[in-house]
């Protein structure tokens, strides 16, 4: 795999989601979930879910410091999947009514994004 690869070998079918869902920060992932329709989230969820076990095994086989850009994008897709899973699996169309105060509680960064 070269640094020019969008995603690691075996995950090319997911490349169509990189521009939309391979987001670096928690804030970006939260915002994408907030602004996406249930149909958009379900499309991503349905396409990525069959790859999740293999993606996690692949990523677990490397240290974070060893991640190539393609690996980082795959990790970002995994994290985005985590953001949309509750909406798709549990809340469905009721997500909006179950998240009435979402605009009051913004995720701006995670502990992984602490300033050094």
d(CA 113, CA 56): 21
pTM equals: 0.79
**Sequence ranges of the domains in the chain:** 15-111
Helix (H) or strand (E) holding 45: helix 38-60
Query: What does the pLDDT look like over 4-25, one tens digit per residue?
Result: 789 999 999 999 999 999 998 8
Q: Which among 63, 75, 84, 62 is positioned nearest to 11, based on CA atoms? A: 75
- What count of residues does the chain have? 116
| Distance of alpha carbon 41 from the chain centroid | 10
Token digits of residue 86: 């509750």
Question: What tens digit of pLDDT does each residue of 75-104 get?
Answer: 999 999 998 988 887 766 655 555 555 555
């Amino acid at each position: 795999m070269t640094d020019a690869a969008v995603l690691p070998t075996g995950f090319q079918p997911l490349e169509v989601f990189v521009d939309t869902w391979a987001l670096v920060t928690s804030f970006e992932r939260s915002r994408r979930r907030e602004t996406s329709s249930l149909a958009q989230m379900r499309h991503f969820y349905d396409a990525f879910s069959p790859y999740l076990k293999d993606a996690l095994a692949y990523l677990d086989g490397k240290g974070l410091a060893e991640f190539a850009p393609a690996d980082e994008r795959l990790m970002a897709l995994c994290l985005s999947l985590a953001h949309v899973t509750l909406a798709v699996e549990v809340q469905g169309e009721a997500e909006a009514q179950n998240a009435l105060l979402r605009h009051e509680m913004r995720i701006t960064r995670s502990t992984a994004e602490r300033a050094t």
